Structure 1
Amino acid sequence: MKLLVTGASGFVGKNFVVHLSEMPDIEVVTFTRDNHVSELPELVSNVDGIIHLAGINRPQHNDEFIQGNTDLTQALANAVFNVVQSQQRFIPIVYSSSIQAERDNPYGQSKKAAEDILLKLSDTTENPVYIYRLANVFGKWCKPNYNSMVATFCHNIIRDIPIDIHNEGAEVQLVYVDDVVSMMFARLNEVLIALQANEMTPTSGFALAGPVYTKTVGQIAKQLNYFKESRQTLISERVGTGFIRKLYSTYVSYLPIDKFTYTVPKYGDERGVFVEMLKTPDAGQFSYFTAHPGITRGGHYHHTKTEKFLVIKGKACFKFKHMVTGEFYELFTDGETPEIVETVPGWSHDITNVGSDEMVVMLWANEIFDRENPDTFACPVVKPE
């Protein structure tokens, strides 16, 4: 399958081309600002489908809206029309329009005119056309200080550059670039497969790319600042799902290479070191510690707190004692065996390095350590005679 991507060097285009390059059965043909509109007929005549992303949204003069959005789309439509007539085959098109097409401004008018051109092409030839009126797209590789508030905020906040907010309560609609790519390609691929199998009557119209997130400018700025502060607090936001996951991924993508790393506090004494790596609002914290040969750590119990230990280097002996019955238990593990040892509320526990080398242990606790309420009570574990 050969696909033409117009606007391939733009924000969405770069993401689209990379995604397509991961698919072994797809050959990508690109059209960028380095190409001339006169090249479109030949390019179009040799492809199976078109992802039309090219456009102008920040020109120096308003007439560039017409040239970059309307006229270019007309040239593309003419090329497709000729192929449908001469080769008797369809070339499905997915087009990235804008929610601005519903508004009376030069950019919106040019995008609406481009939509009308493609819909007319479909009416005339039945060539499938799917139009996506995209909200504000955010994600990696978007140019800051251009047309994306999220890109500008990420770039500036990371670099300690002030951000300019005129109205914190202003709402914006956002859609994530990977969602856009996924949904537009899925539609195009579905149509191409159906056409090749003669299993569909060509259809056209408007399609939705989402999910669309409605947020205020102030909410976005606040969340991005939380991301920045997490390197000091070590408390990570809930970055595993939904909008926060996508915004965090976007934020991190703007890190300059000299900020790919950051240091965390290290606490050391005669026993070894203890380092906290990551804390979460509701899923505990992660850390690691070391212990020199013969050193014992722990010797306490918890009422509610639980922990998971993983020895990744060295040899360890864990000892446990029930705080009511006095029942004793011990076990041995080492860095060669990926074995999790879990502490149980109501049992005092400790860990001893029984090897000849330094021991390194990863540790997860189900809550962030609270010095005011540590739920940690000293009680050395003594093996019964």
Structure 2
Amino acid sequence: MVRICITGGFGFLGWHTACRLRALHGIEPVRLGRADVADPRRLAAAVSASDVVLHLAGVNRAEEPTAVEQGNINLADALAAALRASPRPVDVVYANSVHASLDNPYGRGKARAATLLADAARSTGGSFADVLLPNLFGEHGRAHYNSFVATFAAEVARGGSPVVTADREVGLLHVQQAAAALLDSVGDDEQRVVEGEPHLISGVLASLQATHALYAGRGEVPPLTTPFEVDLFNTYRAASFPQMWPVAPTVHADNRGALVEAVRSHGGTGQAFVSTTLPGMVRGDHYHLRKVERFMVVHGTAEIRLRRLLHDEVVSFTVTGSSPAYVDMPTLWVHNIRNIGDDELVTMFWSDQLLDPRDPDQYAERVDTT
């Protein structure tokens, strides 16, 4: 199995790339943080033990503009030294930017880093793939750092009213697609430009605000008719989790009994099913890359547990059919549901996708890591 090392492995793109490697390729990469890259011996040891280095570490913003330029150059310098110290060739894939051609601190720093890494990789017999990425967005981006989408999603999710100060069209790419492009470039020795999908900044904000109006407190699912709509919705859901869960729908009761609305979807496909679970039994223990999924207990008592992939902290909700409530499973969170009651558990599940047995978007992993 190929051995992969990721610089910037705990950042936004690094985490998503590690998740994709785990889900689709069964590979556990070595993830390096800033302290690892700053330590020449640790960095050299990691690079020497790898077949491929994905260089995702970078500096996007700093108080001093020169720190952005020099920061990206310094990171490349450190990796170049480790590549030259390796006893064998190592292939490099560089997460560059479409802004590398601009004459500003960020562009100059990213362009110079590409030159340094290309020279080091090729001089030792390795390949160098220079992947130019557009503006990235997706689940768990850092507000005010990774992208304006992350900032808008965080502010809208907590009920804020962000303002667009300079509207323009921006090419946007979901971070999982960026990770796919990087992994597809392993072994290539060329430059590759990945195009983003053009969207007005104001249009992105309007979509997030419309989603918030439907979803927050009401749990209504907005139209999910395009991949971009699904990706933007999952970005918003990550920003709203776990604080808005569980959601208790309105109970309509009369002399016949009670009725609750489980899902109201405003567009796209959907599939619902019901399961029974015996006392003490568990369902789930998996995660999804793109699927929107809802659990609603209609009889019995359950504990729903979730853990963000490649993290340790577990979020837990107790829900019961006597007080109907539902919880949506965010993408890239491992989840399960356990019957903690004394009688049979009846749960309704809904997802936005029709099940495709050839591509179920379901990856096995236990919530409990002990």
**Which TM-score bucket, shorter chain as reference?**
0.5 to 0.7
Give the direction of change, closer, same or farther, for the CA distance of 1:111–1:11 in structure 2 (3 Å limit). same
| CA contact 1:158–1:255 (8 Å) conserved in 2 | yes
Q: Give the drift of 1:93.
A: 0.7
The number of equivalent residue pairs is 275
| CA contact 1:165–1:217 (8 Å) conserved in 2 | yes
Match of 2:161 in 1: 162
Does residue 51 in structure 1 map to residue 50 in structure 2?
no
Unaligned 5+ residue runs, structure 1? 192-202, 289-311, 314-359, 365-385
Partner amino acid for 1:248?
F
Match of 1:73 in 2: 76
Q: Give the drift of 1:235.
A: 4.7
| CA contact 2:224–2:267 (8 Å) conserved in 1 | no
Distance (whole Å) between structure 2 residues aligned to residue 48 and residue 213 of structure 1: 32
Q: Tell me which of the two structures has the higher relative contact order, counting C-alpha pairs closer than 8 angstroms and 6 or more residues apart.
A: 2
Match of 2:184 in 1: 186
Does residue 33 in structure 1 map to residue 34 in structure 2?
yes
Distance (whole Å) between structure 1 residues aligned to residue 252 and residue 20 of structure 2: 44
| CA contact 2:137–2:146 (8 Å) conserved in 1 | no
Distance (whole Å) between structure 1 residues aligned to residue 258 and residue 147 of structure 2: 44
- What value does the CA root-mean-square deviation take over the aligned residues? 3.0
Which of the two has higher C-alpha Rg? 1
Distance (whole Å) between structure 2 residues aligned to residue 67 and residue 32 of structure 1: 18
Give the direction of change, closer, same or farther, for the CA distance of 1:49–1:25 in structure 2 (3 Å limit). same
Within-5 A mapping of 1:1-385: 1-22=2-23, 26-35=27-36, 36-39=38-41, 40-83=43-86, 87=87, 89-122=88-121, 124-168=123-167, 170-188=168-186, 191=187, 203-209=188-194, 212-231=196-215, 235-239=220-224, 241-282=226-267
Identity of aligned residues (%): 26
Q: Give the drift of 1:68.
A: 2.3
Match of 2:360 in 1: none
User: SS of the residue aligned with 2:210?
Assistant: helix
Q: Give the drift of 1:66.
A: 3.9
Partner amino acid for 1:175?
L
Unaligned 5+ residue runs, structure 2? 274-297, 300-345, 351-370
Scaled by the length of structure 2, the TM-score of the pair is 0.66
Q: Give the drift of 1:164.
A: 2.2
Give the direction of change, closer, same or farther, for the CA distance of 1:50–1:225 in structure 2 (3 Å limit). same
**Which shows bigger deviation, 91-100 or 178-187?**
178-187
Scaled by the length of structure 1, the TM-score of the pair is 0.64
| CA contact 2:223–2:268 (8 Å) conserved in 1 | no
Give the direction of change, closer, same or farther, for the CA distance of 1:275–1:2 in structure 2 (3 Å limit). same
Distance (whole Å) between structure 1 residues aligned to residue 25 and residue 264 of structure 2: 40
Match of 1:293 in 2: none
1:172-209 Cα offsets, whole Å, 9 max, x none, are 11111111112212332xx3xxxxxxxxxxx5121244
**Which shows bigger deviation, 259-268 or 50-59?**
259-268
Distance (whole Å) between structure 2 residues aligned to residue 33 and residue 254 of structure 1: 25
Distance (whole Å) between structure 2 residues aligned to residue 117 and residue 146 of structure 1: 25
1:353-382 Cα offsets, whole Å, 9 max, x none, are xxxxxxx998x9xxxxxxxxxxxxxxxxxx
| CA contact 1:184–1:209 (8 Å) conserved in 2 | no
